[in-house]
């Protein structure tokens, strides 16, 4: 860090003296084992919330990106693995993208994908996370090792084109998304934005239950962005503890 023209190395003891509220990442970390498939997830406590610090990887079934069984995503849950075009769960789990980024879920799949004791976070719960990090921005400016902003406290220090310090321990990964095709327009479903951006479903539904909220994180933009999307989109899931 540079401070008034000097290079300064701040050690953990100094951090605790400067910022009494600072809690080392290791002290906030834990693990959780999904009883459904034995998958072990890392977890992280951020403020008063406990999040999974890995993308959900629960995969009871799988389809390819151009699956048109439910084009609007309103009647059938769908599970995708980036880059996999098939229906064999065992094969899909052999994909490096599954091991690294977990599963992409349609909204109906995301709603019920989290294990017992966990749930799909609402937009309000994401807002709590955003507010906590924004409040801590000034206090943490000496800890963040590149440009400030909530997304740079959340993204994993490896796996991005522009990695950051991951001070919050959230370890967001750029798993991209799956978008549905439109057979009426002659377009096919496809995967996109791997290694560029992270997209996560929220549980918040809009406009007569036709659209759901999502959150996005990018290393090249400030803050956490988001909007609404049709249920058929394939996004990552980060579960939050009940």
Position 219 in a domain = yes
Q: What is the tens place of the pLDDT at every residue in 26-51?
A: 678 999 999 999 999 999 999 999 99
130 pLDDT higher than 70: yes
Share of the chain above pLDDT 90, in %: 53
Token look-up 């220090």 returns 157
In a domain, 205, yes or no: yes
pLDDT at residue 229 above 90?
Answer: yes
Most confident of 26-35, 107-116, 179-188, 203-212: 107-116
Half-sphere exposure of 91 (CA within 13 A, CB side): 10
Q: Does the residue 150 lie in any domain?
A: yes
Mean per-residue pLDDT for 224-239?
A: 93
Per-residue pLDDT of 50-93, as tens digits, reads 999 999 999 999 999 888 777 777 888 999 999 999 999 999 99
Instruction: Give the pLDDT confidence score for residue 165 in this predicted structure.
Output: 65
pLDDT at 205 over 90: yes
Confidence of residue 210 (pLDDT cuts 50, 70, 90): confident
Mean pLDDT of 197-223: 86
Helix (H) or strand (E) holding 215: strand 211-218
Task: Tell whether 196 is covered by a domain.
Answer: yes
Are 49 and 36 within 8 A, CB to CB?
no
Percent of the chain with pLDDT over 70: 75
237, 113 contact by CB (below 8 A):
yes
pLDDT at position 34: 98
Q: How confident is the model at residue 140 (pLDDT cuts 50, 70, 90)?
A: very low
- Asked if the structure places residue 55 within a domain, the reply is yes
Average pLDDT, the chain: 81
How does residue 157 score in pLDDT terms, banded at 50, 70 and 90? Answer: low
Has residue 13 been placed in a domain? no
Are 126 and 5 in contact by the 8 Å Cβ rule? The answer is no
Query: What confidence tier does 138 reach under pLDDT thresholds 50, 70, 90?
Result: very low
Q: How many CA atoms lie within 13 A of 56 on its CB side?
A: 33
Q: How confident is the model at residue 16 (pLDDT cuts 50, 70, 90)?
A: very low
Cα-to-chain-centroid distance, residue 209:
23
Structural domain that includes position 108 = 20-241
Least confident window among 70-84, 91-105, 214-228: 214-228
Comparison of pLDDT for 232 and 165, the residue scoring more: 232
Lowest mean pLDDT among 142-151, 221-230, 233-242: 142-151
- Residue among 55, 70, 47 nearest 177 (CA): 55
Neighbouring-strand partners of residue 32: 41
pTM for this entry: 0.81
Asked whether residue 200 is domain-assigned, the answer is: yes
- How many domains, in total, are found in the chain? 1
Instruction: Confirm whether 179 is domain-assigned.
Output: yes
Q: Is the pLDDT assigned to residue 143 strictly greater than 80?
A: no
């Amino acid at each position: 860090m540079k401070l008034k023209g000097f290079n300064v190395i701040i050690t953990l003891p100094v951090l605790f003296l400067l910022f009494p509220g600072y809690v080392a990442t290791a002290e906030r970390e834990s693990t959780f084992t999904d009883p459904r498939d034995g998958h072990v997830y890392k977890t992280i406590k951020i403020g008063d919330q406990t999040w999974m610090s890995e993308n959900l990887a629960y995969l009871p079934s799988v389809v390819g990106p151009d699956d048109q069984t439910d084009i609007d995503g309103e009647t059938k849950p769908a599970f995708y693995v980036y880059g996999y075009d098939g229906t064999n769960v065992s094969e899909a789990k052999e994909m490096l993208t599954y091991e690294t980024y977990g599963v992409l879920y349609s909204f109906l799949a995301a709603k019920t994908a989290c294990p017992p004791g966990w749930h799909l976070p609402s937009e309000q719960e994401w807002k709590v996370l955003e507010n906590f990090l924004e409040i801590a921005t000034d206090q943490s400016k000496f800890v963040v090792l590149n440009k400030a902003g909530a997304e740079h406290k959340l993204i994993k220090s490896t796996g991005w084109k522009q990695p950051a310090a991951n001070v919050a321990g959230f370890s967001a990964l750029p798993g991209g998304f799956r978008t549905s095709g439109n057979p009426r327009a002659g377009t096919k479903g496809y995967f996109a934005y791997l290694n560029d951006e992270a997209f996560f479903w929220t549980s918040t539904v809009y406009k007569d239950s036709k659209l759901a909220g999502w959150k996005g994180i990018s290393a090249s933009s400030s803050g956490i962005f988001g909007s609404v999307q049709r249920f058929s989109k394939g996004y990552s899931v980060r579960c939050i503890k009940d």
